[in-house]
Structure 1
């Protein structure tokens, strides 16, 4: 178990182009199932794996429209620290807040594509990770390269509440009721019907 004694904060990063109820579902699940004190929505200035994004502030406004509860906040720490990659952001956060119990929250779609991330193995050694099931990805993510390579660090879903107190590497996969909404579907709908 981890010896850190500070607040337990979930880091929920993404492009949020736009943010939607599916994202809120993931953040709510992380806050509730992991027993966290807060969830920070970290708006990526520019995801290296995606084409050019709308301005950070306009994407943050789509998060604001979700009426986040008190325990959630929008964070622009990536822009402030001028980091482009998740691993670099986490290393800086750990130096700045050494007592905070950070947990990284991702949807299963991100677990499936994680081999494309910079130093993804190092990411697992830096922070406990909670993966929340998303439609269309659960099986591929759970049987994929990352899940296979990190199998020995996986904790059972019924112990997810202990993740915040564990030493990395540690991760869990939460198979909660799914929310089918996706940003790509919203963008596709807007392109087809711009009114």
Structure 2
């Protein structure tokens, strides 16, 4: 394994939660813990991205966001990493392709909030993502209906795994996705920045 990359054994199931984490907050922690439980994951990674191509405003410096993420996310099976910077990838599809090459035999699962599923069809190569790794979707307040009616949900409707079988997701053949309703914290990084509560 390349220096600076977390160690993983073949056969492990690893959830990937990507984002700018600008700033990271308690809802990120909550959704990660729920994903570990709901999808029966061995590990979860926070992929702190260089920047989100869909957002006009650039994020705070990655060093500040990495430190803030490590300060708030305390779990023995969760790793905060800047792997996208190390790989030189800027979009999720590229990151997944590189990780699958670096970690043969590891079962990666892409994790997202229901709000992201609603706009998933705008992501570059989003069908590649759906057809390459299982996708775990966790509901947030107010996002359930729009997510379930989204183009991605409709197109891949027959590949949806029932929430009662969510623990099977990580080892399912792709395409496969699962939508689970969990008690969610109604907070976002945008709200924190707007309130002046985040100073990198």
Q: Does the TM-score normalized on the shorter chain lie above 0.5?
A: yes
Q: Which residue of 2 is the match for residue 40 of structure 1? A: 45
Task: Please give the TM-score of this superposition, normalised by the length of structure 1.
Answer: 0.93
> Structure 2 stretches of 5 or more lacking a match?
1-9
Deviation per CA, 1:23-67, whole angstroms, max 9, x where unpaired?
111111111111111100000111101121111111112211214
Q: What is the CA–CA distance in structure 2 between the aligned matches of 1:100 and 1:82, rounded to whole Å?
A: 21
Counterparts of 1:74 and 1:67 in 2: how far apart (Å)? 8
Asked if the contact 2:119/2:150 (under 8 Å) is kept, the reply is: no
2:18 to 13, 17, 23: 13
Q: Deviations over 1:125-147 (max 9, x none)?
A: 11000000012211111111111
Deviations 1:143-167 (A, max 9, x none): 1111111101100001110011111
Mapped to 2, the partners of 1:28 and 1:150 lie a distance apart of: 26
Say whether 1:132 aligns with 2:138: yes
Contact persistence 2:47–2:84 (CA under 8 A): yes
Residue of structure 2 equivalent to 1:110: 116
Equivalent position of 1:22 in the other structure: 27
TM-score w.r.t. the length of structure 2 is 0.91
- The residue aligned with 1:171 is 177
In 2, the alpha carbon distance for the partners of 1:162 and 1:53 equals 35
Equivalent residue in structure 1 for 2:75, among 69, 73, 77: 69
Report how many aligned residue pairs link the two structures: 190
What is the Cα-based RMSD across aligned positions, in Å? 1.7
2: CA distance, partners of 1:174 / 1:187? 28
Partner Cα separation in structure 2 for residue 129 and residue 190 of structure 1? 33
